Every structure is written in C-alpha cells, then in structure tokens.
Amino acid sequence: MTTAETATGVIWLASYPKSGNTWLREILTNILSPKGTKRGEAIPSFQKDWPGDIPHYQIRGQAVHLMKTHLHPGHARMDNCPLPTAGAITIRRHPLDVLLSALNYAKIKEKAQVFLDQEIKPVEQIIADGEFSHYIDQFRDTDGFSWFAGPAGELSLHRQRWQAACIDLAYHEICYEDLFADPEAGIRALLDFLQIDASAEEISRIYERADRRTAQNGTFFWKRRAYNFQDLLPPELIAEFHEKYSPQLTALDYPTAP
C-alpha cells in the first residue's frame, strides 16, 4: 500500500500508555503489510524525535504516515512533527487495568521512584502487602500513573484532547474490552475506517498474526486480557477504585460501580 507520493499528513495511533496501543499497532501493521514486517517498521513510534525514512500509505484518499504516540495533542514535542494531523485512531482501556499494567511495567523497568518507599514489588506482592490503596490514591490525585504524567498528561483528558484535535478530521476510537471480546469485528470496523477491503479469511489472518506477536509472556504482555482487575483484586479494592475515580470513569464511558 506504500505509494510513490509524498505524505501530506499523519494519522496518529494514539493512546494513554498501557491501553493496548502495541496490540493495535500489530493489527495495523498486518493490515498495511500483509507479507509481514518487523515490529515498528510499518508504524514507527514518535515520542521525542521525528523518525526518518518512514513509509506512507494511501488511506482514505490521501497519502499519509501512520505514527504511534502516547503524547497528548498540545504537548511541546508535537511541534517536532513536520506534517499536519490528518486524523487519529485511539484506543482506551479500563483505568484500573491501566494501573495494574503500569505497575507491572514499572517493575520491569525498575522505576523505584513510582513505588511506595521506593521498594520495587510485583503487583501480586503489593496487593498481598495491603498497599494497593496507596496506588489508587496516587492514581486519583495524578489522574493517571505518575510516571506517564509528563508526556501523556491526565488519563481522563487524553481521549478528549485527541477528539478535540480531530474535530473536523478522520477519527476512530477503539475500546480495548470490545476489541478483546470480538477482535474480528473490531478489525472489520478499523478496515472500514481506513477504507481498505479485506475478506473474512484476511481478517482472521490479520488477527492471528497480531495475536501471536503480542501473546501473553508474563513481562511486557503481562496479562493481556480484558478486566484483568477482576481476577487480581478483591472486591473491596475494586469498589474503592470505582468510588475514588468515579468522575474520570464517567468521562471515559466506563461504569462508576463494579
């Protein structure tokens, strides 16, 4: 699908961190590069510097780059983008699963500063030690995970900022839980947005390859399932999170009660 034209804009694959962006990136990679490509080649990541020598595609009637980012619109680094925004594909995930996944990721990266008393622990140990309420309070006060606050901003506003940035542009939102429940329907809706045709067999292939490359591995793809918190947390902690983070859950279209 790469064209000889010069790209005129960027369609962003945007999300708050730990919301399923990497999984969705793999799905898009397999849509755009049916014969397969290395991770990141079809859809590079933009966080600090604009990458060079990146592909562009004929999508929705124009030649565009697709670029992954966790930055929010208006962040200073977005000024490093040499092309205008042509649209965005965003993915949102239940904030309690974001918190759990972020804690696991902070452990992998050994980010002691985000842990209570700078003691790095696995999520299961945090829960067993009765410390999870501390992270609920921190998440509420920061409106998201403290480590991500600089580039991503507030979790409950991240989605709204991208919607506002694309008010007159192409915009497609995906709910992680819906994609997990029916991935082929989610892929079909994504293809409709991109204005790309694919058979049922091709859609199955797209999903299966992306699923293999993002299979649960206990580290980066830690749990990779919907409503992970229901299996990890006791009901009282789930209820506590929903009570303390209620306004933000409403803004993200998630129920305010367990």
Asked if residue 257 belongs to a domain, the reply is no
Both 119 and 133 in a single domain? yes
Bridge partners (DSSP) of residue 175 are 92
Average pLDDT value for residue range 56-65: 90
Number of domains the chain contains: 2
Residue 143 lies in a domain: yes
Residue 184 tokens read as 């082929």
Query: Is residue 39 over pLDDT 80?
Result: no
86/117 same-domain check:
no
Tell me if 219 is assigned to some domain.
no
Tens digits of residue pLDDT in 92-113: 999 999 999 999 999 999 999 9
Q: What percent of the chain has pLDDT over 70?
A: 95
Shared domain check, 207 and 89: yes
Residue 44 lies in a domain: yes
Tell me the average pLDDT across 226-243. Answer: 97
Rounded to whole angstroms, how far apart are CA atoms 42 and 55?
7
Instruction: Specify whether 28 is located in the same domain as 147.
Output: no
Residue 6's pLDDT band (cuts 50, 70, 90): confident
Phi and psi at residue 174, in whole multiples of 5°? -120, 135
Residue 213 — very low, low, confident or very high, per pLDDT cuts 50/70/90? confident
Domain range for residue 240?
95-152+224-251
Q: Measuring CA to CA, which residue among 170, 176, 177, 175 is closest to residue 194?
A: 170
3 domain residue, yes or no: no
